[in-house]
Amino acid sequence: MAEIPAPTGERRTGRLLATLIVVMIVLGGVGMTLLARRHWWMLPVASAHGVDVDRLIYTTFAVTGIVFVLVHLLIAGFVWRYGAHGTGRAAYWHDDRTLELTYTLVPAAVLVTLISMGAVVWARVHSPAPADATVVEVRAEQFGWLFRYPGPDGIFGRVDPALISPPGKPGNPMGLDPADPASADDIVTRELHLAVNRPVRVRIRSKDVIHSFFIPAFRVKQDAVPGMTVEIWFTPTQEGSYEIACAQLCGIGHYIMRGKVTVESEEAVLTWLAQQSH
């Protein structure tokens, strides 16, 4: 029986593919990453946990980057070398216990290392908040953020969804229950001000659908699930003004649900709070 159509051009196609893999994927990938490092990258980190998360990202980046380059070079090499030519046959080679074991155990070891590192950072992010942490409530709605500080008594007053004033009307957007004395000194704002280097506990709620409280510069993201109050904590470490984005599809205004968080000195926060509470 004849061989498969005479292997003319098979090597040429193989070398074209190998070149494409090296140029586009390996060089292109690495080059684009270097380019991205300057133009399209994570915002400079501005929280304590964020530093740990970034380190984890960079480690993973290094490990996966090396594997990405090596495996693609390997494929490119094989494709370059083993295009059908001449009359030689492929090797009848289909099992090698040692080789298979190697490339089972090596990835496993690398993954276990990454798992352990990830578990440590994750446990740190979700550890109990320090005792000196301040507390603030974030309530998401279609399409914006509302913040509540507990006031001098340190207690959030009761809220009742039935008391929420209709959209567009000032009054009681949070639905504070005036019957609860603890709600009298609660301060409801449209902006978030946080003290620098002071841990903050954020209680996240939602009025209507699922939103997600995302502060890219802090590497913080937590869904706001209606019917639940989820608490996270973090420590802003750089003064400045940062954006809050919604990261969970919440309706047609998902893309305009922009919030602002200002990180400033403790005194500045107190001054600002005093202006809000009339």
Partner 1 sequence: MAVAHGAVHEEHRLGFIRRYIFSQDHKIIGIQYMMTSLFMAAVGGVLAMLIRMELGWPGGHWGVARWLFPGGFSSDGVLKPDFYLAVVTMHGSIMIFFVLTTALSGGFGNFLIPLTIGARDMAFPFLNMLSYWLYPPAIVVLLSSFFVAGGAPNSGWTAYPPLSALRNAAPGSGLGQTLWLVSLAILIVSFLFGSLNYITTVLQLRTRGMSMGRMPLVTWAQFTTAILMLLSFPVLFAAVVMLLFDRHLGTSFFVPSGLVVGGQLVTHQGGNPLLWQHLFWFLGHPEVYVLILPPMGIVSEILAVHGRKPIFGYKAMVASICAIAFLSFLVWGHHMIVSGMNPLVGTAFMVTTLAIAIPSAIKTFNWVATLWRARIHFTPAMLFAIGFVSLFITGGLTGIFLGSPAVDTYFHDTFFIVAHFHFVMASAALFGLFGGLYHWFPKMFGRMMDERLGKMHFWLTFVGIYATFFPMHFLGMAGEPRRYYSPQMYDFLRGLAGLNMFVSVAAFGLGLAQLIFIYNFLRSLFRGPKAERNPWHANTLEWQTESPPPHGNWGAILPTVHRWPYDYSVPDAMDDFIPQTVPAAAVPVAGGALDDGLQGGAVDEPPVAGSERT
Task: Name residues contacting partner 1, limited to 34-73 (CB under 8 A).
Answer: 36, 39-43, 52-53, 56-57, 60-61, 63-64, 67-68, 71-72
Please report how the helices 10-20 and 48-81 are oriented relative to each other, as an axis angle in degrees rounded to 10: 170
Phi, psi dihedral angles at 190 (to 5 degrees): -100, -5
Binding residues for partner 1, rule CB under 8 A, total 108
Q: How far is CA 171 from the centre of its chain?
A: 35
Phi, psi dihedral angles at 159 (to 5 degrees): -120, 150
Please list every residue from 76 through 135 that binds partner 1, using CB under 8 A.
78-79, 82-84, 88-97, 99-100, 103-104, 107-108, 111, 114-115, 117-119, 121-123, 125-126
Rounded least distance, CB 188 to partner 1, Å: 15
Is 27 a binder of partner 1 (CB under 8 A)?
no
Phi, psi dihedral angles at 235 (to 5 degrees): -130, 110
Q: How far apart are CA 193 and CA 150, in angstroms?
A: 13
**Binder among 8, 34, 128, 162 for partner 1 (CB under 8 A):** 162
In angstroms, the first-to-last Cα distance of the chain is 94
Q: In this chain, which stretch among 1-9, 178-186, 190-198, 261-269 interacts with partner 1, using CB under 8 A?
A: 1-9
**Binder among 212, 233, 236, 261 for partner 1 (CB under 8 A):** 212
169 vs 278, beta carbon nearer partner 1: 169
31 vs 154, beta carbon nearer partner 1: 31
Asked whether the CA dihedral 146, 147, 152, 155 is positive or negative, the reply is: positive
Residue 205 β-bridge partners: 139
Please list every residue from 187 through 206 that binds partner 1, using CB under 8 A.
none
Is 258 a binder of partner 1 (CB under 8 A)?
yes
Q: How far apart are CA 207 and CA 227, in angstroms?
A: 8
Q: How far is CA 229 from the centre of its chain?
A: 20
Rounded least distance, CB 152 to partner 1, Å: 27
Rounded least distance, CB 170 to partner 1, Å: 14
Q: How far apart are CA 80 and CA 214, in angstroms?
A: 46
Q: In this chain, which stretch among 145-153, 157-165, 193-201, 262-270 interacts with partner 1, using CB under 8 A?
A: 157-165
141 vs 186, beta carbon nearer partner 1: 141
Given the structure tokens 């074991």, which residue do they identify? Answer: 101
* Strand ranges, E, within 116-229: 134-141, 144-149, 187-189, 192-195, 200-206, 211-215, 220-224
195 vs 257, beta carbon nearer partner 1: 257
Rounded least distance, CB 239 to partner 1, Å: 17
Both tokens of 87, joined, read 């009359």
Please list every residue from 133 through 152 that binds partner 1, using CB under 8 A.
141-142
Is 227 a binder of partner 1 (CB under 8 A)?
yes
